[in-house]
Amino acid sequence: MSGTTAGKISSEEELIRTYLAPLARANEGAFGLRDDCAVYEPRPGSDLILTTDAIAAGVHFFADDRPEDIAWKALAVNVSDLAGKAAAPRVYQMALSFPEAPTHAFMERFASGLAEAQEAFGIVLSGGDCDRRPGPMTVTITAIGEVPAGLRLTRDGGQPGDAIFVTGTLGDAAFGLQLRRGDEAARAWPLSTHERAGLVARYLRPLPRLGLAPLLRRHATAAMDLSDGLAKDLGRLTRAASAGAMIVRGSLPLSEGVRRLVAADETLFDAVLSGGDDYEILFTAPPGSEPDVAAFAQAQGLMTTQIGTLVAGAGLMLTTADGERPLAAMGWDHF
Amino acid sequence: MSGTTAGKISSEEELIRTYLAPLARANEGAFGLRDDCAVYEPRPGSDLILTTDAIAAGVHFFADDRPEDIAWKALAVNVSDLAGKAAAPRVYQMALSFPEAPTHAFMERFASGLAEAQEAFGIVLSGGDCDRRPGPMTVTITAIGEVPAGLRLTRDGGQPGDAIFVTGTLGDAAFGLQLRRGDEAARAWPLSTHERAGLVARYLRPLPRLGLAPLLRRHATAAMDLSDGLAKDLGRLTRAASAGAMIVRGSLPLSEGVRRLVAADETLFDAVLSGGDDYEILFTAPPGSEPDVAAFAQAQGLMTTQIGTLVAGAGLMLTTADGERPLAAMGWDHF
């Protein structure tokens, strides 16, 4: 059956040559994936940003997700880290492991999802590793991006008084996950078919906020992407800055569907605060920079929203119509 | 039990802070592993070499191997790829996955093995990812090294007439694996306790041939590390060069123990040709360079041996006392 789309791939070499090498074609330093190392030429005047994230079937994605979506997500979650550092994506290394040899049909679709994501993010495959081993299918990517030499956009640069911003809308992916899972409760949610599909897409196909880089480079004092939920990730940012944060509940940017869900059932609001997989960017900027941030975002057609302020002290407070309450550091832990 | 060496690690954050962050201390760009990206400053005039290899329990190592050895091997197999490209190791990204939270005792020993390997290879941790997921414990590393800008030491640079060299001795790790596994046959091998331990150590603790870099940069037309067995890896090198190879059996460098084993049982010679995990370097150099190669190796205290010659045509031939025979491209395939 080898060579047909239904058959299984017969060797590591076939998998690399047929499905992965085309993804590295635009990268001279990848040597067509025929070598065991790649060469990367840094652009003069640049520092590199390195990040590594793995996704596994049954943990970070569903085993029956579309292969295109698995591939997209594996690359997107890494590129999102680069976006959070205002880095321009360049190349990635990918380690694939399968419990059994994948079919040609699977790999064709997986590779097409990667090709699409590469094109969208401006990144290209440089090398990697393929193995068969027990356990879930896993995609481990190390992505490399570039920033102007000396740019250090870390978590810890925020100062009390800085405005706290997020891109896009929060919680969509958390609700999308429940819809994708087919949760009983989710089936009753007052959402249109279109809204349901939109939320699921936010979960399956995160879109790294690469367009924000010029703004971050110019204004941000600290930045990171949101992958483990606002409460948890904001907790990390504030602890790194030895500061606290005051968040205004009414300012949290919600998509129309999520706004309706939360209005109908207040308990669902927790998913906005602690749901993972947002892949938006959380950043801080000095007081007074708000108009510049707003003007840049508008000019670029990007959505950014001030959700609160860094304050002296520690801990996260949420201001609601009923007053203030502490925001527990909920969210995803990998252990 | 948290905090005792017998207890299990309770969170990703604890694992990173307690055991991994110290490994990144010498790397300013790792930000104490408190950020989700690392910064890497390329040295001016350098190109980077990228390589990725994963090792998994039950596939590439034994689940009951010493944690120090697992860690060493995970890093060594990657650094060996860099050594095969004459690159100076710089930093690495590491993705760890565990089926259940590891104990403090395990991580302490695992981290000490990494620390030892970092010191030996001159490389430092820059970042990574930790997850719990079903399946075997897995260590996936992307290592980054540097070469002088423009240096391209690929597999495909060999020309007919070039001499073929290997470092060290071949097959030790293949026999070490059988000893480690406790194979019935291996127990009867005529080896001293010291020799047994030496072969097992070759399997458990590969030592990347980093000292060879100046020689490779100066003389090599093609180079790669030997991980999947001489026959298979030489097949790759010759196919990449569109050439064949003539190997002289009597010239293959064997340790004393392996020489004795093979003399006692001719069938064991296959392990020399096709056994994996040598982590020696296979390289070619132009005709006439043999004396320079020998002189350099001697001066550096390194062992290099000419094992044959690249020839026009295709395929691998082995010259023995009984004449010539084709060398089948045996060796390890990951599928």
pLDDT in tens, B215-229: 999 999 999 999 999
Q: How far is B287 from chain A (nearest CA, A)?
A: 24
What's residue A333's pLDDT?
56
Coil, strand or helix at A45: coil
Q: How far is A333 from chain B (nearest CA, A)?
A: 7
Closest to A12 (Cβ–Cβ): which among B49, B84, B334?
B334
B21-80, pLDDT tens digit by residue? 999 999 999 999 999 899 999 999 999 999 999 999 999 999 999 999 999 999 999 999
What average pLDDT does chain A have? 94
d(CA B315, CA B243): 7
H/E run at residue B165: strand B163-167
Closest to A56 (Cβ–Cβ): which among B15, B87, B133?
B133
What's residue B327's pLDDT?
85
Q: What's the mean pLDDT in B268-297?
A: 95
Q: What is the 3-state secondary structure (H, E, C) of A176-243?
A: HHHHHHCCHHHHCCCCCHHHHHHHHHHHHCCCCCHHHHHHHHHHCCEEEECCCCHHHHHHHHHHHCCC
Q: Are B109 and B70 in contact (CB under 8 A)?
A: no
What does CATH list as the number for A12-148?
3.30.1330.10
Structure tokens at A22: 């085309």
Report the residue of A50, A51, A60, A147 to disrupt the B interface, i.e. the one with the largest count of B CBs within 10 Å: A50
d(CA A222, CA A237): 8
What's residue A285's pLDDT?
98
User: Which candidate, B46, B37, B220, places its Cα nearest to that of B145?
Assistant: B46
Q: How far is B262 from chain A (nearest CA, A)?
A: 31
Task: Tell me how long chain B is.
Answer: 335
Res. B329: pLDDT tops 90 = no
Chain A hits for B334, Cβ within 8 Å: 12, 130-132
How many beta-carbon pairs under 8 angstroms link A with B?
Answer: 213
Q: How far is B93 from chain A (nearest CA, A)?
A: 7
What's residue A63's pLDDT?
94
User: Which candidate, A53, A52, A21, places its Cα nearest to that of A124?
Assistant: A21
Q: Are B130 and B96 in contact (CB under 8 A)?
A: yes
Identity at B283, one-letter amino acid code: F
When computed from its CA atoms, the radius of gyration of chain A, rounded to whole angstroms, is 21
Q: How far is A207 from chain B (nearest CA, A)?
A: 18
- State whether A138 and B97 contact (CB < 8 Å): yes
Structure tokens at B161: 């007439």
d(CA A154, CA A172): 26
Q: What's the mean pLDDT in B236-257?
A: 96
- State whether B48 and A40 contact (CB < 8 Å): yes
d(CA B143, CA B48): 10
Q: How far is B97 from chain A (nearest CA, A)?
A: 9
Q: Are B24 and B32 in contact (CB under 8 A)?
A: yes
d(CA B205, CA B90): 20
Report the residue of A34, A39, A81, A151 to disrupt the B interface, i.e. the one with the largest count of B CBs within 10 Å: A39
Chain B hits for A124, Cβ within 8 Å: none
Residues of chain A with CATH 3.90.650.10: 155-326
Which residues are paired to B287 by β-bridges?
A: none
What's residue B227's pLDDT?
95
- Going from the C-alpha of B220 to that of each of A58, B161, B163, B215, B285, the distances in angstroms are 46, 13, 10, 7, 5
d(CA B175, CA B200): 8
What tens-digit pLDDT sequence spans chain A (335 residues)? 344 567 999 999 899 999 999 999 999 999 999 998 999 999 999 999 999 999 999 999 999 999 999 999 999 999 999 999 999 999 999 999 999 999 999 999 999 999 999 999 999 999 999 999 999 999 999 999 999 999 999 999 999 999 999 999 999 999 999 999 999 999 999 999 999 999 999 999 999 999 999 999 999 999 999 999 999 999 999 999 999 999 999 999 999 999 999 999 999 999 999 999 999 999 999 999 999 999 999 999 999 999 999 999 999 999 998 899 998 755 555 55
What's residue B2's pLDDT?
43
What's residue B113's pLDDT?
98
Residues of chain B with CATH 3.30.1330.10: 12-148
Homologous superfamily assigned to B155-326: PurM-like C-terminal domain (3.90.650.10)
What's residue B331's pLDDT?
55
What's residue B332's pLDDT?
54
Give the chain B residue whose CA is nearest to the CA of A14: B335
- State whether B97 and A42 contact (CB < 8 Å): no
Closest to B85 (Cβ–Cβ): which among A37, A129, A224?
A37
Give the chain B residue whose CA is nearest to the CA of A44: B44
- State whether A54 and B97 contact (CB < 8 Å): yes
Chain B hits for A40, Cβ within 8 Å: 47-50
d(CA B239, CA A202): 45
